């Protein structure tokens, strides 16, 4: 049986706190509706101490979706935790997610605290959070650049204090998969059944998804991720990429999520319309070109058998159909197919002539639109009618 992996969505928190991504409370509510439909397990709705809007968003989402596990972020500080707890008052399944940095770099330059002080504050924060809810998550910020013995010590201590989930973020996107898997494996063995080990990867080196997956193979059972991979700097691990990797490579990755994948594309589109940018066209799973084929060899193979060039059914992620983009790399087979779709049954000579004009046009442009193909076909058929009439 496949092992269950929990999807912790932080689009409305880590995602929202990045440039160009801020959302109003009504926008967060709309996105939350989509995330609930998508089937995320935990929905991190904001960082209530950070702004009134974040407080209101956590409160509003908790009221609107009482059955959903809603998380609120809080530093390991009394006031943060009290405010997070207040924002979650209406949630039936509230999670307080408290964090403090643990790496030497952060301790020395940012916090100016000793390891013992940070450990004591982490334990106190978890104990306080537990006085409000049973569901407490602790994050060791910059875990991947933290001394591993200390990380294990603090992880054991917060679990003893009542944390049910221990998140070990690659806050700066510095780790590589083999290294991250070794760290997560060690911590998963140390904590055993006492807590779920969670991962939260940033994409500074483009490795957030690979690191998250390697971590699950090593024992993590919660992944923190965002729609379209939005988040601080280069972003977080993209939810859609993680889920579709599990679904597509079950042979290698026997892990299961509860994500309803048919909503992935619409969730991506809704987010793009809410924030100031969408995914790049060649973005995996949800980019405009993710199921588009232009090269003649690819189009020919695809038209003979889709699996030659497609490893996923676009409908599985909510994309209505694959696209054959007609451009200078396209072949006769694809043009013939398009002409048939547009209602033209061309004979061999007609197709040759249309193809000749099509390649001349495609050479000058980035792509040829359906209307332009129709015009070319009319041109060729029209000229042929005139010649035929003249010959009669």
Of 103, 133, 139, 228, which one interacts with ligand KIV (CB under 6 A)?
A: 139
139, interface contact from ligand KIV, Zn ion, none, CB < 5-8 Å by kind: ligand KIV
Residue with tokens 């929905």: 43
Query: Minimum distance from CB of 47 to Zn ion (Å)?
Result: 11
The answer to the question of residue 171 lying near ligand KIV (CB under 6 A) is yes
DSSP secondary structure, 117-177, as one string: HHHHHHHHHHHHHHTT-S-EEEEEETGGGS-HHHHHHHHHHHHHTT-SEEE--BTTS---H
The answer to the question of residue 141 lying near ligand KIV (CB under 6 A) is yes
Tell me how many degrees the CA angle 314-318-319 measures, rounded to the nearest 5.
50
106, interface contact from Zn ion, ligand KIV, none, CB < 5-8 Å by kind: none
Site string for Zn ion, 8-27 (x = CB under 5 A): ------x-------------
Q: By C-alpha distance, which of 100, 159, 88, 152 is closest to 127?
A: 159
Query: Minimum distance from CB of 220 to ligand KIV (Å)?
Result: 14
Q: Contact, 358 vs 380, CB < 8 A? A: no
Rounded Cα distance between 214 and 173, Å, is 14
Which pair of structure tokens corresponds to residue 257? Answer: 């999520």
Longest dimension (CA), the chain: 100
Q: For residues 201-240, which are near ligand KIV according to CB under 6 A? A: 202
Q: For residues 55-94, which are near Zn ion according to CB under 5 A? A: none
Which pair of structure tokens corresponds to residue 237? Answer: 């691990």
Rounded Cα distance between 81 and 94, Å, is 12
* Residue (195 or 290) nearer to ligand KIV, CB: 195
Rounded Cα distance between 70 and 125, Å, is 19
Query: Minimum distance from CB of 137 to ligand KIV (Å)?
Result: 9
The answer to the question of residue 98 lying near ligand KIV (CB under 6 A) is no
Query: Minimum distance from CB of 99 to ligand KIV (Å)?
Result: 4
141, interface contact from Zn ion, ligand KIV, none, CB < 5-8 Å by kind: ligand KIV
Rounded Cα distance between 243 and 248, Å, is 9
The answer to the question of residue 16 lying near ligand KIV (CB under 6 A) is no
Of 162, 169, 229, 331, which one interacts with ligand KIV (CB under 6 A)?
A: 169
Query: Minimum distance from CB of 167 to ligand KIV (Å)?
Result: 6
Q: Which residue ranges make up the site for ligand KIV (CB under 6 A)? A: 14, 99, 139, 141, 167, 169, 171, 200, 202
Q: Which residue ranges make up the site for Zn ion (CB under 5 A)? A: 14
């Amino acid at each position: 049986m496949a092992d269950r992996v929990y999807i912790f969505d932080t689009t409305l928190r880590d995602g929202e706190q990045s440039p160009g991504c801020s959302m109003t409370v009504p926008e967060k509510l709309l996105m939350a509706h989509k995330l609930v439909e998508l089937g995320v397990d935990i929905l991190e709705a904001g960082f209530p101490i950070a702004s009134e809007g974040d407080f209101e968003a956590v409160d509003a989402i908790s009221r609107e979706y009482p059955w959903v596990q809603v998380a609120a972020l809080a530093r390991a500080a009394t006031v943060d935790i009290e405010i997070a707890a207040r924002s979650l008052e209406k949630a039936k399944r509230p999670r307080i997610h408290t964090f403090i940095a643990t790496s030497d770099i952060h301790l020395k330059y940012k916090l100016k605290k000793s390891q013992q002080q940070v450990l004591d504050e982490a334990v106190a924060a978890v104990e306080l959070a537990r006085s409000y809810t049973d569901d407490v998550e602790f994050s060791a910020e910059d875990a991947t650049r933290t001394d591993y013995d200390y990380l294990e010590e603090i992880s054991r201590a917060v679990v003893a204090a009542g944390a049910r989930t221990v998140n070990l973020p690659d806050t700066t996107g510095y780790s590589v998969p083999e290294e991250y898997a070794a760290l997560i494996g060690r911590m998963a063995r140390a904590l055993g059944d006492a807590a779920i080990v969670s991962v939260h990867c940033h994409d500074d080196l483009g490795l957030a998804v690979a690191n998250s997956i390697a971590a699950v193979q090593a024992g993590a059972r919660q992944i923190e991720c965002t729609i379209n991979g939005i988040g601080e700097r280069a972003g977080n691990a993209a939810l859609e990429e993680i889920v579709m990797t599990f679904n597509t490579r079950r042979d290698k990755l026997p892990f299961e999520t509860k994500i309803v994948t048919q909503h992935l594309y619409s969730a991506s589109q809704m987010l793009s319309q809410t924030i100031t940018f969408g995914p790049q066209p060649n973005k995996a799973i949800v980019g405009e070109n993710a199921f588009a084929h232009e090269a003649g060899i690819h189009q020919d193979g695809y038209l003979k058998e889709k699996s030659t060039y497609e490893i996923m059914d676009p409908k599985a992620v909510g994309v209505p159909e694959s696209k054959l983009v007609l451009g200078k790399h396209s072949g006769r087979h694809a043009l013939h197919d398009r002409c048939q779709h547009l209602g033209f049954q061309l004979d061999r000579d007609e197709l040759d002539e249309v193809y000749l004009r099509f390649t001349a046009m495609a050479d000058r442009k980035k792509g040829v639109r359906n209307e332009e193909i129709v015009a070319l076909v009319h041109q060729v058929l029209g000229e042929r009618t005139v010649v035929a009439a003249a010959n009669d």
